Amino acid sequence: MAHDGGSDPGLPGRTALVAYALPAVPLAAIALPLYVIVPTFYADHLGISLAAIGTVLLFIRLIDAASDPVIGWLSDQVAPKSGRRRTVFLLSLPLTTLSAFMVFWPTGNAGIGYLAFWGILLSIGYTATLLPYTAWGAELSTEYRGRAIVSACREGATLVGTLIAIVLPFAVGMDRIDGFHGLAAVAAFILVAVPVFGLVAVCAVPEPANRSTSRLSLLDSLRHLVRNRSFVRLVAAFLLNGFANAIPATLFLYFVSERLGAEALRGPLLFLYFLCGILGVPIAVWVSARAGKHRSWCGAMILACIVFFFSGFLGAGDIAAFAVICALTGVLLGFDLALPPAIQADVIDCDTALSGEQRTGVYFAAWGLATKLSLALAVGLVFPVLAWSGFVPGSDAAVPESALDTLAMLYAWLPILPKLAAIAIMWNFPLGQDAQVALRTRIDAAARRPDTA
């Protein structure tokens, strides 16, 4: 079966790298407000109960999880002349842009049905944009180190978008529903940035070569995915590390306000964390070029365990020490963001060499499911344990000391266990630079053979 054409660079030029990274900025600005700011905003200004909003957002998450494998598989199957990654990405932009705009700038009489309708469309549109976008990046470079650079550019832009999503709503103000409020400012940014940055990427970034030499059914496709031992190993480590990271992310606001007694500093400390994450991305690329991607990631996870351990001893007023911890863990976040997707691109080579079909979309759909599962597991574990300890969010009563101790242990020490397990899984990961080069040679040789179809 013939493979379609396309560019197959070892590493795109700087202009192409910047153009590819640009859409990650507004896409990140969509993700954070939807689950962090929207619930409170709709409850405070539209009079919708938090229980109803929570139910709708849970339903949206379920649809989101179900759409991942479907959209991932479809994005691998289409083969237009304009390129399968760029075409699906481009076609999804109007739906993503419009639905995000409607969710973030609701009318004054919007109800729960409004949030459900536009939220579901946003979920489908966002997945249809993000999956081909990340698959596009994984295929842009065929080089072991080049893939880390592509991933780092995208994730660095993601952190910039996250900072915008943190600052913009509160800088403009969230105290009203009429006129131009903080969430509307995010909506206006998305309305311009998603289509403009998306078009820049499509025009300036080449379509990766499709090295498929065969077509698999959905069932055979899933069989190959499960049999890919390198992928199973990587996704297990990614799930464990994602679970470890999701625990402090879920508890961050409570830890700062209740344990440290510094509610007013929650925003600045969160900003510091993500700002240092941007610094950590190029450091991750530099280290991985010398130590290898999986060992560099393991080293960052080891350092994170050490830093998290000390955070468990902090108490009221220990702001300076916690700021240092936020800065250090922020830098290490750069490793977590940049390196696993780059390793994932190498793991997909194992499948392509064996199955004959380059199915990056399916693999990143499974990656997305692991991300969502890790977040769900964290929320499902820590909140019941906190409630059992006597911690009641939003209560005027003083939080019991035992509940604060439980909060500190969950925040600081529980994440160490899954991180240690992830390190054990990845330390002797078999797919280093030499093995990846051998796989690419095999894939390219198969793609150059005369058509058999």
- Residue in the block written with tokens 């499960």: 226
Number of structural domains the chain divides into: 2
* Other residues' Cβ atoms within 10 Å of the Cβ of residue 44: 14
* Other residues' Cβ atoms within 10 Å of the Cβ of residue 305: 18
Q: Do 429 and 342 share a structural domain?
A: yes
pLDDT of residue 393: 61
Q: Do 232 and 166 share a structural domain?
A: no
Q: Do 255 and 187 share a structural domain?
A: no
- For residue 260, the domain's CATH number is 1.20.1250.20
Last residue of a domain, one of 182, 210, 238: 210
305 belongs to a structural domain: yes
Helices (H), 173-228: 182-204, 218-227
76 belongs to a structural domain: yes
Last residue of a domain, one of 150, 178, 210: 210
Q: Do 304 and 189 share a structural domain?
A: no
Q: Which two tokens stand for residue 412?
A: 């600081």
pLDDT of residue 6: 44
263 belongs to a structural domain: yes
215 belongs to a structural domain: no
Given a contact cutoff of 8 angstroms between Cβ atoms, the answer to whether 162 and 274 are in contact is yes
Beta bridge partners of 7: 208
108 belongs to a structural domain: yes
Q: Do 55 and 14 share a structural domain?
A: yes
Residue 240's nearest CA partner among 310, 298, 312, 162 is 298
Q: Do 269 and 198 share a structural domain?
A: no
Q: Do 355 and 334 share a structural domain?
A: yes
Q: Do 234 and 100 share a structural domain?
A: no
Angle 185-191-196 from CA coordinates, rounded to 5°: 125
pLDDT of residue 241: 94
217 belongs to a structural domain: no
pLDDT of residue 238: 92
pLDDT by 10s per residue, the chain, length 453: 334 444 445 667 889 899 999 999 999 999 888 877 787 788 878 888 777 887 888 788 788 888 888 888 787 777 767 677 888 899 999 999 999 999 999 988 888 899 999 999 999 999 999 999 988 888 888 788 888 899 899 999 999 999 998 888 878 877 777 778 888 999 999 999 999 999 999 999 887 766 655 666 667 667 777 788 888 899 999 999 999 998 888 788 888 888 898 888 888 898 899 999 999 999 999 999 999 999 999 999 999 999 999 999 998 889 999 999 999 999 999 999 999 988 988 888 887 777 777 778 788 888 888 887 887 788 778 878 877 888 766 566 677 888 888 888 999 999 999 999 999 999 999 887 777 778 777 777 776 665 544
- Residue in the block written with tokens 């890919």: 228
Task: Print the domain residue range for 147.
Answer: 1-210
pLDDT of residue 179: 79
Residue 88's nearest CA partner among 132, 124, 120 is 132
Q: Where are the beta strands (DSSP E) in 209-322?
A: none
d(CA 63, CA 122): 11
59 belongs to a structural domain: yes
Residue 1's nearest CA partner among 358, 361, 364 is 358
- Residue in the block written with tokens 């696993």: 340
359 belongs to a structural domain: yes
Q: Do 259 and 300 share a structural domain?
A: yes
Q: Do 429 and 317 share a structural domain?
A: yes
Q: Do 351 and 239 share a structural domain?
A: yes
Q: Do 280 and 195 share a structural domain?
A: no
Residue 318 half-sphere exposure, CB side, CA atoms within 13 Å? Answer: 17
Last residue of a domain, one of 155, 181, 210: 210
